[in-house]
Amino acid sequence: MNDFVPRSRIVLNEMSGDTIPREVTQPNPIVSSDPTQDQQPTIPRRSGRVRTQPERYIGLGESVENLPDDDDPYTYKEAMEDVDSRHWQKAMQSEIESMFDNKVWSLVDLPKGIKPIGCKWVYKRKRGMDGKVETFKARLVAKGYTQKEGIDYEETFSLMAMLKSIRILLSIAASLDLEIWQMDVKTAFLNGSLDESIYMMQPEGFIEKGQVDKVCKLQKSIYGLKQASRSWNIRFDQAVKGFGFIQNPDEPCVYKRIKGDKLVFLILYVDDILLIGNDVGVLTSVKEWLAKQFDMKDLGEASFILGI
């Protein structure tokens, strides 16, 4: 009983700072089975080298502003504000005329419950081997990413010649001293027919006066549609086979035609055509036939194709 301390006395001592000492028990140290935990973290070594900007980048911010802007316009507005706006306008007019000549669409009222797909202009400066601008290209492209499978299209797969096949045939032509001619199909995809009913908004800058609310009902395929490439490929394949060309079973976009000792190879790469043969007269007849079937541009002897 001599060790008894009243509760009031304990509280009084705590308030006055004269606390009663207590026995403090230290917890048992936890011994880790992982020896790596006891090791001190490794401090990464850092280079003391003073970093300086390479001399080739000094003043880059100032010099960039003085560089000529050769980027192609991205929108119709940019094209009209571009230094080459006159050329872009002419290129767009040529594209629209091609659409009308091929009867690509007709203006109709939009059926109820149908949402038309959009379209946009794509601009490209085409340069020659010397880097100089040769032509200004304006392509009207449908916004095919808004199409719905099963409604706006069914099949999209399209064939295209492999680059290695083109290189092989060019090597053969060089070794045998064959003629190599090149042609370009203007607005190639406009030659493909459509099985689906597709409605498209009128192109920017070429909306018919008095028919602002009308939409374009596509009658033929145009660039940008999911099925455009396939439709064009089917149309071209049927045409060249009807002219006597035989399709290579292992390379469907390579065709050949042999008459006696006259040989002609025809290679299709999207809308670029290579003609390889051993007789100028036969090649000329093939070119003339192609020009009657499609709107073609004769590029003469091939010197630069697909970067080869």
Task: Say what the pLDDT of residue 246 is.
Answer: 95
Residues of the chain with pLDDT under 70: 1-41, 43-44, 46-70, 144-159, 304-308
Confirm whether pTM is higher than 0.85.
no
In whole angstroms, what is the distance from residue 290 CA to residue 58 CA?
Answer: 55
Q: What one-letter code names the amino acid at 141? A: V
Token pair of 163 as six digits: 């680059």
* Contacting residues for 109 by C-beta, under 8 A, at least 6 apart: 213, 214, 215
Phi-psi region of 134 (alpha: psi -120 to 50; beta: other; left: phi over 0): alpha
Phi-psi region of 305 (alpha: psi -120 to 50; beta: other; left: phi over 0): beta
- CA distances to 28, 182, 207, 264 from 304, rounded to whole Å, are 83, 9, 38, 20
Task: Say what the pLDDT of residue 91 is.
Answer: 94
Task: Say what the pLDDT of residue 286 is.
Answer: 95
Task: Say what the pLDDT of residue 230 is.
Answer: 81
> Of 248, 257, 260, 250, which Cα lies nearest the Cα of 275?
257
pLDDT one-digit tens code per residue, 131-184: 788 889 998 988 865 445 544 444 445 567 888 888 999 899 989 999 999 998
Helix (H) or strand (E) holding 157: none
In whole angstroms, what is the distance from residue 298 CA to residue 290 CA?
Answer: 10
Task: Say what the pLDDT of residue 41 is.
Answer: 65
b/e for 131-141, b at 16 or more Cβ within 10 A? eeeeebbbbbb
At residue 175, the 3 state secondary structure works out as helix
